[in-house]
Chain A
């Protein structure tokens, strides 16, 4: 048997284990309310699509609205992170400037403080900046993304850029290129894997981010998917596990498609760039 064959066999076996919990979730989303409480098996005794219908229409606002809100926030976050973090990463990875190491250490430092103690100070700050309670409630969620505050992505891009052979910069510099030209003509084209990775993660994490979106969004109209998903289960009064599962699964579809589409760029990234070692 060929190596390729065994590779696929191994992958399928691992995949079966990895996907079982999700299959269980899928099966459960087709169970009736009573069956969810009592039948813990993979397959429903009676298939019913009611959870999907109910979940979609459960609120004054259709669930589609939440999808649209989340998509908008996630896409803008992707754009903001990609641009701002790439700029910062180029400086850290390729340019020699004063206090570089100090700033780099500070950047890593901002990754380390647990976010829960920052929520209240941030809220107070954003309120003071006039971002809270305005006409557009997404400012506190989005402006920071355009200022490279997600140090994770800066660090990620720095690490990737440092893998790009330095001769390319040197060659361009000998030809008289400024740092700006090097950035535009050497670094940006070669940073595609880093950019794609950043795009994928920004999108997915924003899609799943709960706490900050919960704090800053106050109108049902503005809620995003993760906030809306929690509306199904109020542990003291009422819980609609079935519709919640159904909507959770649906919410995986856009991120899954986003991922599959973008990972293709990961593959092609290097082939088209024609990098020489």
Chain B
């Protein structure tokens, strides 16, 4: 198995390659020759949803775990895992972490090689992609059997991890949409702050007023931002997805683009190139931080990180419109690899990280508000970062108004997101009318999720 493939393994394929289209027999031979090597992996890659074969519970075990994030998250996660090892000295961890750039490329490569980590972090962008291909272990039986205790989780947060009836991931942190504004700028110009519940029309008027008075564009244009579009859709009684289809119509997209075209025409937003800058930038260069706009559209728990990059005071409220359209979103999940041979322990680790007061206290609010409500309360009372406090307050206040969470985004979600940016920018740069862009976008989005 560990020898180099002999040239002979390759030769027949080169010889047959011209005729490879001609029949299934030859095709199979081609495949056989090429996949001699990888096929051996198949056994490793296909797992099942059952538990581990019974074995000595005190046998030394090394679990691999993989997450993205920055140094701060790495420290906290490592400390929390060390607590687990302290309680279960036979369990150690092979920890891999990196920033989000390239994270999913590496995860896909490892998964394709049958080598996915026992536990890996994932977000709602990819959860369905992985779950629908049976990469993630269905945790339902663990939940029902009491080995995975999600009883203290808000039910909407548990549900936001269910794909096709299978519990594919455990939410590690809750967040929700937050509109962050530059408080210092508003105070200096004696302008009122935006409020939760103000209508979209009122908000745009408010932003226009900020632009006129403060000489800084009132708000980043969120027309390219899927999460703003999503909230707005839910306020119209629509959704981003419904079952296996899009939850909106072409007309909805056009109306959304039209709304923001109006705002741009009234000077409520920056120019198209600055909007683009805001669309593609990372969290530290959001327009509200760089002083190029009065507000930015982010997740509420990103507030403290935004604050680190500016001297100005920041505030956060819900997105405009009815706040009950917002929901408790799992900022990220941990999932267990279905092909792992240490599933039971992996689930136990996730259970520990979610519910153990000591471990959860270590993890704090780094991934979002703790999912376990008891722990959330405890953590909230000990948070010292003033901006995190504000974020928690706003989120807790909104939490009382949250509606039911939507279904987990479908396969193809990342394309649906990327294409919205493109379509919105076509309108922003004045290259297409809202109707044209909406038409093109709707067709591409439908194709992306495989909707006929």
Q: Please report A residues at the B interface, Cβ cutoff 8 Å.
A: 33-34, 36-38, 58-60, 119-121, 123-125, 127-130, 132-133, 210-211, 214-215, 218-220, 227, 230-241
Beta-carbon contact of A235 and B96 below 8 Å? no
What separation, in Å, do the CA atoms of A12 and B321 have in the docked complex? 59
Beta-carbon contact of A214 and B106 below 8 Å? yes
What separation, in Å, do the CA atoms of A130 and B69 have in the docked complex? 29
The segment out of B202-210, B281-289, B370-378 that lies at the interface is B281-289
Q: Give the residue name and chain of the B residue nearest to A236 (CB).
A: B100
The segment out of B306-314, B337-345, B382-390 that lies at the interface is B306-314
What would 30 A/B residue contacts be, using CB atoms closer than 8 Å? Answer: A34-B310, A34-B311, A38-B290, A59-B74, A119-B105, A120-B112, A123-B115, A124-B41, A125-B37, A125-B38, A211-B105, A220-B96, A220-B97, A231-B98, A233-B282, A234-B70, A234-B73, A234-B101, A235-B100, A235-B283, A236-B68, A236-B302, A237-B283, A237-B305, A237-B366, A238-B69, A238-B305, A239-B70, A239-B284, A240-B71
What separation, in Å, do the CA atoms of A49 and B74 have in the docked complex? 25
Q: Give the residue name and chain of the B residue nearest to A36 (CB).
A: B309
A-side contacts of B400, CB under 8 Å: none
A-side contacts of B290, CB under 8 Å: 37-38
**B99 beta carbon closer than 8 Å to chain A:** yes
Interface size grouping (class) on chain B: 35 or more
How many CB-defined contacts (below 8 Å) exist between A and B?
A: 136
B-side contacts of A227, CB under 8 Å: 98
What separation, in Å, do the CA atoms of A236 and B73 have in the docked complex? 12
A-side contacts of B309, CB under 8 Å: 33-34, 36-37
Instruction: Quote the shortest CB–CB distance from B438 to chain A (angstroms).
Output: 28
Q: Please report B residues at the A interface, Cβ cutoff 8 Å.
A: 1-5, 37-38, 40-41, 66, 68-75, 78, 94-102, 105-106, 108-110, 112-115, 282-285, 289-291, 302, 305, 308-311, 366
Instruction: Quote the shortest CB–CB distance from B120 to chain A (angstroms).
Output: 12
Selected contact of B71 from candidates A33, A58, A120, A235, CB within 8 Å: A58
Q: Give the residue name and chain of the A residue nearest to B307 (CB).
A: A34
What separation, in Å, do the CA atoms of A127 and B40 have in the docked complex? 11
What separation, in Å, do the CA atoms of A230 and B68 have in the docked complex? 11
Beta-carbon contact of B291 and A230 below 8 Å? no
Beta-carbon contact of A127 and B283 below 8 Å? no
What separation, in Å, do the CA atoms of A220 and B3 have in the docked complex? 29
Beta-carbon contact of A127 and B70 below 8 Å? no
Selected contact of B112 from candidates A34, A124, A211, CB within 8 Å: A124
What separation, in Å, do the CA atoms of A215 and B103 have in the docked complex? 9
Q: Give the residue name and chain of the B residue nearest to A211 (CB).
A: B102
Selected contact of A215 from candidates B106, B284, B310, CB within 8 Å: B106
Q: Give the residue name and chain of the A residue nearest to B37 (CB).
A: A128
Beta-carbon contact of A214 and B98 below 8 Å? yes
* Given known A37-B309, A215-B106, contact A234–B37 (CB-CB < 8 A): no
Instruction: Quote the shortest CB–CB distance from B115 to chain A (angstroms).
Output: 6
B-side contacts of A230, CB under 8 Å: 98-99, 101-102
What separation, in Å, do the CA atoms of A175 and B338 have in the docked complex? 69
Selected contact of A129 from candidates B4, B285, B289, CB within 8 Å: B4
What separation, in Å, do the CA atoms of A211 and B108 have in the docked complex? 13
Instruction: Quote the shortest CB–CB distance from A33 to chain B (angstroms).
Output: 6
Beta-carbon contact of B283 and A219 below 8 Å? no
A-side contacts of B95, CB under 8 Å: 220
A37, A129, A211, A236 — most chain B CB neighbours (10 Å):
A236
B-side contacts of A211, CB under 8 Å: 102, 105
* Given known A238-B72, A241-B284, contact A128–B101 (CB-CB < 8 A): no
B-side contacts of A236, CB under 8 Å: 68, 100, 282-283, 302
A-side contacts of B1, CB under 8 Å: 128, 130
What separation, in Å, do the CA atoms of A125 and B309 have in the docked complex? 45
What separation, in Å, do the CA atoms of A133 and B2 have in the docked complex? 13
* Given known A59-B71, A239-B282, contact A123–B100 (CB-CB < 8 A): no
A-side contacts of B109, CB under 8 Å: 119-120, 123, 215
Selected contact of A120 from candidates B4, B78, B113, B284, CB within 8 Å: B113
Instruction: Quote the shortest CB–CB distance from A222 to chain B (angstroms).
Output: 10
Instruction: Quote the shortest CB–CB distance from B72 to chain A (angstroms).
Output: 6
Beta-carbon contact of A232 and B94 below 8 Å? no
What separation, in Å, do the CA atoms of A36 and B4 have in the docked complex? 51
A-side contacts of B102, CB under 8 Å: 210-211, 214, 230
Instruction: Quote the shortest CB–CB distance from A66 to chain B (angstroms).
Output: 13
Instruction: Quote the shortest CB–CB distance from A259 to chain B (angstroms).
Output: 27
B-side contacts of A234, CB under 8 Å: 68-70, 73, 99-101
Beta-carbon contact of B101 and A235 below 8 Å? yes
* Given known A33-B309, A129-B4, contact A124–B284 (CB-CB < 8 A): no
Beta-carbon contact of B73 and A219 below 8 Å? no
* Given known A232-B70, A238-B70, contact A128–B282 (CB-CB < 8 A): no
Q: Give the residue name and chain of the A residue nearest to B306 (CB).
A: A37
Q: Give the residue name and chain of the B residue nearest to A219 (CB).
A: B96
Beta-carbon contact of B113 and A127 below 8 Å? yes
Beta-carbon contact of A38 and B291 below 8 Å? yes
Instruction: Quote the shortest CB–CB distance from B59 to chain A (angstroms).
Output: 20
A-side contacts of B302, CB under 8 Å: 236-237
Instruction: Quote the shortest CB–CB distance from A28 to chain B (angstroms).
Output: 13
* Given known A233-B101, A237-B69, A237-B302, contact A133–B96 (CB-CB < 8 A): no
* Given known A120-B113, A227-B98, A234-B99, contact A37–B285 (CB-CB < 8 A): yes
Nearest first, the 9 A-B pairs at minimum CB distance are: A235-B282, A238-B70, A234-B99, A239-B284, A130-B2, A234-B70, A37-B309, A218-B96, A124-B38
Selected contact of A133 from candidates B40, B105, B115, B289, CB within 8 Å: B115
What separation, in Å, do the CA atoms of A132 and B64 have in the docked complex? 14
What separation, in Å, do the CA atoms of A206 and B303 have in the docked complex? 38
Instruction: Quote the shortest CB–CB distance from A226 to chain B (angstroms).
Output: 11
Beta-carbon contact of A132 and B113 below 8 Å? yes
Q: Give the residue name and chain of the B residue nearest to A116 (CB).
A: B105
Give me 5 other A-B pairs in contact (C-beta within 8 A), A215-B106, A238-B72 excluded. Answer: A33-B309, A120-B112, A230-B99, A238-B284, A240-B70
What separation, in Å, do the CA atoms of A120 and B105 have in the docked complex? 10
Instruction: Quote the shortest CB–CB distance from B420 to chain A (angstroms).
Output: 18
